[in-house]
Structure 1
Amino acid sequence: LAEGVPRGFTLNSNEILEALQEPLTGIVSAVMVALEQCPPELASDISERGMVLTGGGALLRNLDRLLMEETGIPVVVAEDPLTCVARGGGKAL
C-alpha cells in the first residue's frame, strides 16, 4: 500500500482475535460499569430479562456469548441489529 496500489493478504482467525482483544475488553468493561451504575430496579430487570445487542458490533461472532460469560446475564442479538434502533425510534415518533 506504500506505493498506493492495493494488495491482498490473508489473515487467520488468531490474528483477527488478537486485533480485537483490546476493543472487546473495553466493551466488556463498559458493559460492567454500566450495569454497576444501574438503579436497583433496572438492574433487577436486566438480570431477569437479559440484554439485547444492537448495532454493527452485535454482529461480532460470539460477542453475545462473551458478554454472557463475563456478566452472568442472558444476552441475545437483536433481529436485524443494524436497523432495529432506527426503526424503533421511528415508531416512537
Structure 2
Amino acid sequence: TITLLSGEIVQCLSHSLSLIAIGIKNVLEQTPPELASDIIDKGIVLTGGTALLRNLDKYITQFTGVPTHVADEPLLCVVKGIGRALENIEIFQKSLTKR
C-alpha cells in the first residue's frame, strides 16, 4: 500500500496544470473579440477527467480572470456531443473533412 498526501499530488501535477492554464489563456488571447466576449460572459466549461481535479475550476478562474466551472457529467461530455452530432449529421457535414 502506498499513501499519498494531497500536497504531494499537487506538487506532481502543478507544472502540468500550469501548462494547461497557460494554454487556455493563450487561446483566449487569440480568440476573436466577438467570441471572446461570449466566453467571458458565460465562462469556461471544463470537461473530461481532468475537470474532476479538485479546485481546478478555481485555479483556471484565478489564472485567466474568466469564470470557470465543471460541466455536469464531465466524463460523458464528448460522447454525448458525438451522439448529438450524429443525430444532426446534416448540420455538421460541412465541418467533417476527409484525410
The whole-number CA distance in structure 2 between the counterparts of 1:12 and 1:84 is 30
- Displacement of 1:12: 1.0
The whole-number CA distance in structure 2 between the counterparts of 1:88 and 1:45 is 20
- Identify unmatched segments of 5+ residues in structure 2: 87-99
- Identify unmatched segments of 5+ residues in structure 1: 1-7
Does residue 58 of the first structure (1) align with residue 51 of the second (2)?
Answer: yes
- Structure 1 partner of 2:12: 19
| Letter aligned with residue 2 of structure 2 | F
Q: Which has the higher helix share?
A: 2
Q: Hey, which bits of structure 1, 4+ residues long, moved more than 3 A? A: none
The whole-number CA distance in structure 1 between the counterparts of 2:65 and 2:54 is 18
Q: Secondary structure at the match of 1:69?
A: helix
Number of matched pairs? 86
- Structure 2 partner of 1:40: 33
- Displacement of 1:82: 0.5
- Displacement of 1:84: 1.4
TM-score when normalising by structure 1: 0.87
Cα root mean square deviation, aligned: 0.9
The whole-number CA distance in structure 1 between the counterparts of 2:10 and 2:55 is 11
| Letter aligned with residue 56 of structure 1 | G
The whole-number CA distance in structure 2 between the counterparts of 1:35 and 1:70 is 12
TM-score when normalising by structure 2: 0.82
